[in-house]
Amino acid sequence: MRLAGIDIGSRTIELVVLNERGIIESKQAESGFDPMTQTKELLEGVQYDRIMATGYGRHLFELSFDAPTVTEIKAYAVGARSLFPEVRTILDIGGQDSKAISVSDEGKVVKFEMNDRCAAGTGKFLEIMATTLGFSLDQFGVEALQATKDIRINSMCTVFAESEVTSLVAKGVNRRDIALGLHHSVVRRAVGMLKRVSVKEPIIFAGGVARNPCTRHLLEEVLGQKIVIPENPQMVGALGAALLAGEKG
Protein backbone atom coordinates (compact mmCIF):
# COMPACT_ATOMS: atom_id res chain seq x y z
CA MET A 1 0.00 0.00 0.00
CA ARG A 2 1.22 3.48 -0.89
CA LEU A 3 0.57 6.08 1.81
CA ALA A 4 0.94 9.81 1.16
CA GLY A 5 1.25 12.68 3.58
CA ILE A 6 1.13 16.33 2.61
CA ASP A 7 2.09 19.26 4.79
CA ILE A 8 0.58 22.48 3.43
CA GLY A 9 2.45 25.28 5.14
CA SER A 10 2.32 29.03 4.72
CA ARG A 11 5.58 29.10 2.76
CA THR A 12 6.09 25.63 1.33
CA ILE A 13 4.23 22.38 0.70
CA GLU A 14 5.89 19.04 1.38
CA LEU A 15 4.76 15.64 0.08
CA VAL A 16 5.97 12.22 1.22
CA VAL A 17 4.90 8.85 -0.19
CA LEU A 18 5.62 5.61 1.68
CA ASN A 19 5.28 1.91 1.07
CA GLU A 20 6.29 -1.04 3.20
CA ARG A 21 9.97 -0.37 2.44
CA GLY A 22 9.89 3.26 3.57
CA ILE A 23 9.93 6.61 1.75
CA ILE A 24 9.70 6.11 -2.00
CA GLU A 25 9.01 9.68 -3.06
CA SER A 26 9.25 13.19 -1.61
CA LYS A 27 8.54 16.53 -3.24
CA GLN A 28 8.40 20.17 -2.25
CA ALA A 29 6.88 23.31 -3.77
CA GLU A 30 6.27 26.92 -2.79
CA SER A 31 2.79 27.54 -1.37
CA GLY A 32 2.39 30.72 -3.39
CA PHE A 33 -0.79 32.79 -3.38
CA ASP A 34 -2.95 29.77 -4.33
CA PRO A 35 -1.80 26.77 -2.27
CA MET A 36 -4.51 24.43 -3.58
CA THR A 37 -3.41 24.93 -7.18
CA GLN A 38 0.18 24.32 -6.10
CA THR A 39 -0.94 21.22 -4.22
CA LYS A 40 -2.73 19.80 -7.25
CA GLU A 41 0.36 20.36 -9.39
CA LEU A 42 2.55 18.70 -6.75
CA LEU A 43 0.27 15.64 -6.73
CA GLU A 44 0.22 15.25 -10.52
CA GLY A 45 1.48 11.82 -11.47
CA VAL A 46 1.84 10.74 -7.83
CA GLN A 47 0.29 7.37 -7.08
CA TYR A 48 -1.07 6.61 -3.63
CA ASP A 49 -3.81 4.55 -1.98
CA ARG A 50 -4.44 6.87 0.96
CA ILE A 51 -3.48 10.42 1.72
CA MET A 52 -3.64 12.62 4.81
CA ALA A 53 -2.99 16.34 5.08
CA THR A 54 -1.54 18.52 7.81
CA GLY A 55 -0.41 22.13 8.05
CA TYR A 56 -2.29 25.41 7.95
CA GLY A 57 -3.90 24.52 4.59
CA ARG A 58 -5.19 21.12 5.65
CA HIS A 59 -8.84 22.24 5.88
CA LEU A 60 -8.81 23.51 2.31
CA PHE A 61 -7.28 20.19 1.26
CA GLU A 62 -10.03 18.29 3.08
CA LEU A 63 -12.67 20.20 1.11
CA SER A 64 -10.87 19.87 -2.24
CA PHE A 65 -9.80 16.23 -1.98
CA ASP A 66 -12.29 14.76 0.50
CA ALA A 67 -9.36 13.44 2.53
CA PRO A 68 -8.71 13.18 6.27
CA THR A 69 -6.47 15.65 8.09
CA VAL A 70 -4.37 15.73 11.24
CA THR A 71 -3.02 18.57 13.37
CA GLU A 72 0.59 19.63 12.90
CA ILE A 73 1.32 18.76 16.52
CA LYS A 74 0.36 15.11 16.10
CA ALA A 75 1.92 14.85 12.64
CA TYR A 76 5.26 16.19 13.88
CA ALA A 77 5.23 13.93 16.92
CA VAL A 78 4.62 10.84 14.80
CA GLY A 79 7.07 11.88 12.08
CA ALA A 80 9.86 12.72 14.51
CA ARG A 81 9.38 9.50 16.46
CA SER A 82 9.55 7.42 13.29
CA LEU A 83 12.95 8.96 12.52
CA PHE A 84 14.23 9.08 16.11
CA PRO A 85 12.38 6.57 18.34
CA GLU A 86 13.88 8.03 21.52
CA VAL A 87 12.70 11.60 20.84
CA ARG A 88 11.34 13.48 23.86
CA THR A 89 11.25 17.08 22.65
CA ILE A 90 10.52 18.53 19.22
CA LEU A 91 11.14 22.08 18.06
CA ASP A 92 9.77 23.14 14.70
CA ILE A 93 10.41 26.60 13.28
CA GLY A 94 8.76 27.08 9.93
CA GLY A 95 7.98 29.95 7.63
CA GLN A 96 5.30 31.65 9.71
CA ASP A 97 4.86 29.60 12.84
CA SER A 98 6.87 27.74 15.44
CA LYS A 99 6.03 25.00 17.88
CA ALA A 100 7.60 23.13 20.78
CA ILE A 101 6.31 19.66 21.62
CA SER A 102 7.05 17.38 24.55
CA VAL A 103 6.38 13.66 24.03
CA SER A 104 6.28 10.73 26.43
CA ASP A 105 8.42 7.58 26.29
CA GLU A 106 5.58 6.05 24.28
CA GLY A 107 5.58 8.91 21.78
CA LYS A 108 2.35 10.54 22.96
CA VAL A 109 2.10 14.34 22.99
CA VAL A 110 2.35 15.50 26.60
CA LYS A 111 2.40 19.27 26.13
CA PHE A 112 2.94 21.78 23.36
CA GLU A 113 3.37 25.49 22.75
CA MET A 114 2.67 27.13 19.41
CA ASN A 115 3.22 30.57 17.93
CA ASP A 116 1.10 31.01 14.82
CA ARG A 117 -0.14 34.58 15.26
CA CYS A 118 3.08 36.54 14.89
CA ALA A 119 6.01 36.30 12.46
CA ALA A 120 8.47 36.95 15.32
CA GLY A 121 10.71 33.96 15.91
CA THR A 122 9.90 32.34 12.56
CA GLY A 123 11.53 31.85 9.20
CA LYS A 124 9.66 34.85 7.85
CA PHE A 125 11.26 37.06 10.50
CA LEU A 126 14.72 35.84 9.50
CA GLU A 127 13.93 36.25 5.81
CA ILE A 128 12.84 39.88 6.24
CA MET A 129 15.86 40.69 8.40
CA ALA A 130 18.26 39.05 5.94
CA THR A 131 16.86 41.22 3.16
CA THR A 132 17.09 44.33 5.35
CA LEU A 133 20.78 43.60 5.94
CA GLY A 134 21.49 42.78 2.28
CA PHE A 135 22.09 39.05 2.77
CA SER A 136 20.48 36.14 0.97
CA LEU A 137 18.62 33.76 3.27
CA ASP A 138 21.26 31.08 2.66
CA GLN A 139 24.05 33.51 3.59
CA PHE A 140 22.36 34.88 6.68
CA GLY A 141 23.20 32.19 9.22
CA VAL A 142 26.73 31.73 7.86
CA GLU A 143 27.45 35.45 8.09
CA ALA A 144 26.00 35.67 11.61
CA LEU A 145 28.44 32.99 12.79
CA GLN A 146 31.32 35.27 11.77
CA ALA A 147 30.19 38.10 14.06
CA THR A 148 32.62 39.41 16.64
CA LYS A 149 30.01 41.03 18.86
CA ASP A 150 26.42 40.28 19.78
CA ILE A 151 24.12 43.27 19.31
CA ARG A 152 20.93 42.86 21.31
CA ILE A 153 17.80 43.56 19.30
CA ASN A 154 15.19 44.94 21.68
CA SER A 155 12.06 44.41 19.59
CA MET A 156 10.70 41.04 18.47
CA CYS A 157 7.91 42.65 16.44
CA THR A 158 9.00 42.27 12.82
CA VAL A 159 8.07 45.84 11.86
CA PHE A 160 9.81 47.45 14.84
CA ALA A 161 12.81 45.12 14.60
CA GLU A 162 13.25 46.05 10.94
CA SER A 163 13.25 49.72 11.91
CA GLU A 164 15.75 49.03 14.69
CA VAL A 165 18.04 47.15 12.29
CA THR A 166 17.88 49.95 9.72
CA SER A 167 18.86 52.42 12.44
CA LEU A 168 21.83 50.27 13.52
CA VAL A 169 23.05 49.97 9.93
CA ALA A 170 22.82 53.76 9.58
CA LYS A 171 25.04 54.09 12.67
CA GLY A 172 27.69 51.92 11.03
CA VAL A 173 27.21 48.81 13.17
CA ASN A 174 28.70 45.70 11.55
CA ARG A 175 26.01 43.78 9.63
CA ARG A 176 27.30 40.42 10.89
CA ASP A 177 27.00 41.57 14.49
CA ILE A 178 23.42 42.69 13.87
CA ALA A 179 22.71 39.34 12.18
CA LEU A 180 23.95 37.48 15.26
CA GLY A 181 21.73 39.62 17.49
CA LEU A 182 18.72 38.80 15.33
CA HIS A 183 19.45 35.09 15.52
CA HIS A 184 19.79 35.36 19.28
CA SER A 185 16.34 36.98 19.47
CA VAL A 186 14.80 34.05 17.55
CA VAL A 187 16.59 31.51 19.73
CA ARG A 188 15.53 33.23 22.97
CA ARG A 189 11.91 32.93 21.87
CA ALA A 190 12.35 29.29 20.85
CA VAL A 191 14.08 28.37 24.12
CA GLY A 192 11.26 30.05 26.06
CA MET A 193 8.76 27.83 24.29
CA LEU A 194 10.87 24.73 24.88
CA LYS A 195 11.21 25.43 28.60
CA ARG A 196 7.46 25.81 28.93
CA VAL A 197 6.94 22.28 27.60
CA SER A 198 9.94 20.79 29.46
CA VAL A 199 13.23 20.19 27.63
CA LYS A 200 14.33 16.57 27.59
CA GLU A 201 16.83 14.91 25.28
CA PRO A 202 16.85 13.86 22.52
CA ILE A 203 15.71 17.22 21.10
CA ILE A 204 14.73 17.13 17.45
CA PHE A 205 14.89 20.38 15.47
CA ALA A 206 12.63 20.40 12.38
CA GLY A 207 11.32 22.93 9.88
CA GLY A 208 13.08 25.14 7.37
CA VAL A 209 14.96 27.18 10.01
CA ALA A 210 16.70 23.97 11.13
CA ARG A 211 18.84 24.43 8.01
CA ASN A 212 20.21 27.69 9.42
CA PRO A 213 23.65 26.94 10.98
CA CYS A 214 23.61 29.91 13.37
CA THR A 215 20.22 28.99 14.82
CA ARG A 216 21.40 25.42 15.39
CA HIS A 217 24.62 26.59 17.04
CA LEU A 218 22.92 29.08 19.34
CA LEU A 219 20.23 26.59 20.41
CA GLU A 220 22.88 24.13 21.54
CA GLU A 221 24.86 26.88 23.23
CA VAL A 222 21.90 28.30 25.16
CA LEU A 223 20.37 24.94 26.09
CA GLY A 224 23.69 23.26 26.80
CA GLN A 225 22.28 20.18 25.05
CA LYS A 226 22.80 18.46 21.72
CA ILE A 227 20.24 19.17 18.99
CA VAL A 228 19.42 16.44 16.47
CA ILE A 229 18.39 17.52 12.97
CA PRO A 230 16.71 15.19 10.47
CA GLU A 231 18.33 14.78 7.05
CA ASN A 232 15.39 16.68 5.57
CA PRO A 233 13.93 18.72 8.44
CA GLN A 234 11.06 20.14 6.38
CA MET A 235 9.57 16.70 5.64
CA VAL A 236 8.84 15.66 9.24
CA GLY A 237 5.19 16.77 9.25
CA ALA A 238 4.41 15.21 5.87
CA LEU A 239 6.06 11.97 6.99
CA GLY A 240 3.93 11.89 10.12
CA ALA A 241 0.78 12.50 8.09
CA ALA A 242 1.66 9.66 5.72
CA LEU A 243 2.21 7.26 8.62
CA LEU A 244 -1.11 8.28 10.17
CA ALA A 245 -2.87 7.76 6.83
CA GLY A 246 -2.06 4.07 7.26
CA GLU A 247 -4.11 3.99 10.47
CA LYS A 248 -7.27 5.18 8.70
CA GLY A 249 -9.81 2.96 7.01
- Check whether 150 has a pLDDT greater than 90: no
**Same fold? 1-84+234-249, 86-229:** yes
Domain range list for the chain: 1-84+234-249, 86-229
Answer left, alpha or beta for residue 135, where phi above 0 means left and psi between -120 and 50 means alpha. beta
Q: At what angle do helices 137-144 and 175-197 cross, to 10 degrees?
A: 90
Residue 127 has what pLDDT? 93
Residue 117 has what pLDDT? 64
The superfamily in CATH containing domain 86-229 is ATPase, nucleotide binding domain (3.30.420.40)
- Check whether 155 has a pLDDT greater than 90: no
CATH architecture of the region 1-84+234-249:
2-Layer Sandwich (3.30)
For 20-45, give one letter per residue: b (16+ CB within 10 A) or e. eeeeeebbeeebeeebbebbeebbee
Residue 121 has what pLDDT? 78
Q: Using an 8 Å Cβ cutoff, are 90 and 186 in contact?
A: no
Whole-structure pTM value: 0.93
Residue 166 has what pLDDT? 95
State the average pLDDT over residues 183-204: 94
